[in-house]
Amino acid sequence: MKNKKERLQLIVNLIKKNCIGSQNELAELLESNGCKVTQATLSRDLKSMKITKVATNDGGYMYIIPDNNDLQDQLLMSGRNSLTVQQQVGFVSIALSGHMAVIRTRNGYAAGLAYDIDMSRSDEVLGTIAGADTVFAILREDVSHEEALKFFSRFVPLDRIVVK
């Protein structure tokens, strides 16, 4: 591989098209595509692109690219491991009260969800705070619960939303 930019693009393409669970697996795929890298270089590349691992329902892990739902959409459409939207992305429930939303997730999923909400740069949400399994979101004062529901339906199955 001639340069870093090409290598990074290859990493993105491989992660989008494959369920990769380890750096060794990714390094092997890179090498089979003509790009031999050391573990240290691969680790730096993943960190620089903010690529992370999430747990899968089959007990393994897979790399995901932040702010990119292509791989997730492909997995959902393919029915891989019979995952539902709620299972794949880790949602449990949302409760709305006044200008607040409390979003419950499976352990470890809250930070990713908060990141996705914040990166959406929405007019409905001022910001989020994430714990391990809970996201606290503050809604703008002029946002109705109906508008909030419409916004959160991009992230949460509607049957998991509770308005209080």
Please write the tens of the pLDDT for every residue from 32-44.
999 999 999 999 9
Output the pLDDT for position 40. 93
> Which region among 9-13, 86-90, 137-141 has the lowest average model confidence (pLDDT)?
86-90
14 near 26, Cβ under 8 Å?
Answer: yes
Residue 77: predicted pLDDT: 43
Gyration radius from the chain CA atoms: 18
Length of the chain: 164
Q: What global pTM score does this model have?
A: 0.49
- Could you give the angle at the alpha carbon of 31 between the alpha carbons of 29 and 37, nearest 5°? 110
Output the pLDDT for position 82.
Answer: 37
Q: What DSSP state is assigned to residue 29? A: H
Q: Which of 12-21, 81-90, 136-145 has the lowest mean pLDDT?
A: 81-90
Q: Angle formed by the axes of helices 23-32 and 4-17, to 10°?
A: 110
CB 53 within 8 A of CB 43: no
pLDDT in tens, 71-118: 444 443 443 433 333 333 578 888 899 999 999 888 888 888 888 888
Note the pLDDT of residue 164: 55
Strand pairing category for 91-97 and 161-163:
parallel
